[in-house]
Amino acid sequence: MALLALALALLQGCSAVKLGYSKADDLAYWWLDGYADFSAPQTEKLRAALNEVHLWHRTQELPQYAALLQQAQTLAADKLTATQVCALADAGQLRLNAVTARAMPALTAVALDLSAKQLLHLERQWAKKNATWQDDWLKLSPTERDKKRLDNFVDRFESFYGTLSPAQVQLLRQQVQQSVWTAAWGWQDRLHKQQQLLELLRSYPMKSPNPLLAQEELLRMVLAWTSTTEGQGFETRQRLKQEACANMAQLHNTTSEAQRLKAMQRLRAYAQDFKDLSTP
């Protein structure tokens, strides 16, 4: 279970690994364009920059992903501690932070060039996404929310371990019911990030910032969104992280030999995929 969390973190944006990764720069562009509606000159610059980041990521980062997954595969053979899980999660987060830092010059250049019309488009897209998020989480009853979270966890973990036993599903149910996470906190955290970013983007035309200083400011803000030591709400993120590590270790330690073998095989396959992909 711990290993699943690490793998999911490392696979963000890749989608089906080999099939999706080859198009990762295109997927990143289309995702960003859906929010900003880039002009032709912006598109040309951003696509070139994302292509460069993709090449760097393939040759420099994927070997490190493979190494982490190999480490996870070794640990999967035995029982886990929450400390081991968090160590893997921290290593995975460092790799994601490295991608963010590498892409930040290009993202900052685009951010400094956004027009008032594009910022309005961004707000409208957020409003649509927020309405969907409210339907998916805020408008559900506590019982419905718990069931949805439980179903999501069962689906994800069974994709790694195979069919979970009734006792394992019950353990997940208890973990969901006792979780620090609430829809209210998730909603406020979501709105805070959007408002913080929007205020920063709106300030650029008025203060004509130095590009390097703007890049540092934007990077610092984005990294704080996932930090468990700084930024608004870091205490809750820290508690959620500790909870997740403990929960993952607890479930993993209930798995059978067959379930652990299946997880190890899945991790081995992902690691091999990353090795294969690291060669352009």
Is pLDDT at 131 greater than 50 in this prediction? Answer: yes
Residues with Cβ within 8 Å of residue 42, at least 6 apart in sequence: 36, 110, 113
The alpha carbon dihedral of 15, 16, 17, 18 has a sign of: negative
The alpha carbon dihedral of 15, 19, 22, 27 has a sign of: negative
The rounded percent of the chain whose pLDDT value lies above 90 is 82
Q: Decide if 248 contacts 2 (C-beta within 8 A).
A: yes
The rounded percent of the chain whose pLDDT value lies above 70 is 93
The 10s digit of each residue's pLDDT in 206-260 is 888 899 999 999 999 999 999 999 999 999 999 999 999 999 999 999 999 999 9
Task: Enter the pTM of the model.
Answer: 0.89
Query: Which phi-psi region, left, alpha or beta, contains residue 13 (left: φ > 0; alpha: ψ -120 to 50)?
Result: left
Whole-number pLDDT of residue 270 = 87
The 10s digit of each residue's pLDDT in 245-272 is 999 999 999 999 999 999 999 899 888 8
Q: Decide if 219 contacts 121 (C-beta within 8 A).
A: no
The 10s digit of each residue's pLDDT in 31-83 is 999 999 999 999 999 999 999 999 999 999 999 999 999 999 999 999 999 99
Whole-number pLDDT of residue 14 = 41
Instruction: Give the residue from 229, 236, 124 showing the smallest Cα distance to 180.
Output: 236
- Tokens representing 241 are 């992280």
Q: How far is the C-alpha of 28 from the C-alpha of 25, rounded, in Å?
A: 5
Average pLDDT for residues 101-119, to the nearest whole number? 94
Q: How far is the C-alpha of 242 from the C-alpha of 49, rounded, in Å?
A: 36
Question: What three-state secondary structure class fits 119?
Answer: helix
Q: How far is the C-alpha of 166 from the C-alpha of 178, rounded, in Å?
A: 18
Q: Decide if 229 contacts 238 (C-beta within 8 A).
A: yes
The 10s digit of each residue's pLDDT in 154-205 is 999 998 899 999 999 999 999 999 999 999 999 999 999 999 999 999 999 8
Q: How far is the C-alpha of 123 from the C-alpha of 136, rounded, in Å?
A: 20
Query: Which phi-psi region, left, alpha or beta, contains residue 233 (left: φ > 0; alpha: ψ -120 to 50)?
Result: left
